[in-house]
Amino acid sequence: MTEKRAVILLSGGLDSATVVAMAKADGFSCYTMSFDYGQRHRAELQAAERVAADMGVVEHKVIGLNLNGIGGSALTDSSIAVPETPGEGIPVTYVPARNTVFLSLALGWAEVLGARDIFIGVNAVDYSGYPDCRPEFVESFERMANLATKAGVEGQGFRIQAPLQMLSKADIVKTGTRLGVDYGLTVSCYQADEQGRACGKCDSCRLRAEGFAAAGVTDPTRYF
């Protein structure tokens, strides 16, 4: 039987850890990819390493980028404060073109590996309103992937899988818990300290806490 390979974007947060577990449960050999892109919450990189090791992925790759070189986001520019209350419109924690860049690099690795599936943990229900988390974005990227690659042109097309797209945060927590995800290994906070402890105030912390509460699952998050 031919091995089913998948490249999975693994940030080290709750959502992406759940996606790895879902891909494994679907019989994929998992290759995970994280990005050191100049983010202020670099503790998520150590979390990604922990999750990858705990889940026994085939290979975990960390790619260095310099998105802080263009700035424009509270996550990559230390002069912009991370908001602690929800605001109107797209928040300043949006990183310009981040998912487009990340998926492009995952696409390149997938083509090298002979993987046909790329997983991303974007969500369009309980999320911060980022434009690159919407179903339209995922569908458009998949079309582009199959136009822009040798594999796609030769009929070995790619699938961009976003299995969390229409799940609430509570449903994501329930799914991961059922699949044995150790959420104590993950870091979601936009301004986590070096030990991975969360602020408990940012949008990501709020969504995470609400998800665990609604799921009736104990939240293992450590706070500073």
Output the domain CATH number for residue 203: 3.40.50.620
Residue 82 lies in a domain: yes
Q: What range does the domain containing 72 cover?
A: 5-215
Per-residue model confidence as pLDDT tens for the chain (224 residues): 478 999 999 999 999 999 999 999 999 999 999 999 999 989 999 999 999 999 999 999 999 999 989 999 999 998 999 988 777 789 899 999 999 999 999 999 999 999 999 999 999 887 778 999 999 999 999 999 999 999 999 999 999 999 999 999 999 999 999 999 999 999 999 999 999 999 999 989 999 999 999 999 999 999 99
Q: Identify the three-state secondary structure at position 211.
A: helix
> What integer pLDDT is reported at residue 2 of this predicted model?
72
> What integer pLDDT is reported at residue 51 of this predicted model?
98
Question: Exposure string (b/e) for 94-125, b if CB count within 10 Å is 16 or more?
Answer: bbeebbebbbebbbebbbeeebbbbbbbbbbe
Angle at 213 between CA 82 and CA 52, to 5 degrees: 70
Residue 100 lies in a domain: yes
Residue 6's contacts (CB-CB under 8 Å, 6 or more residues apart) are: 23, 28, 29, 30, 31, 110, 115, 117, 118, 119, 161
| Helix axes 43-55 and 14-25, enclosed angle (nearest 10) | 20
> What integer pLDDT is reported at residue 84 of this predicted model?
83
DSSP state of 222: -
Q: Look at the pTM and tell me if it is higher than 0.75.
A: yes
Residue 163 lies in a domain: yes
Residue 93 lies in a domain: yes
Distance CA 142, CA 195 (A): 36
Residue 221 lies in a domain: no
Q: Count structural domains, the chain.
A: 1
Residue 222 lies in a domain: no
Burial class (CB in 10 A: 0-12, 13-18, 19+), 71: middle
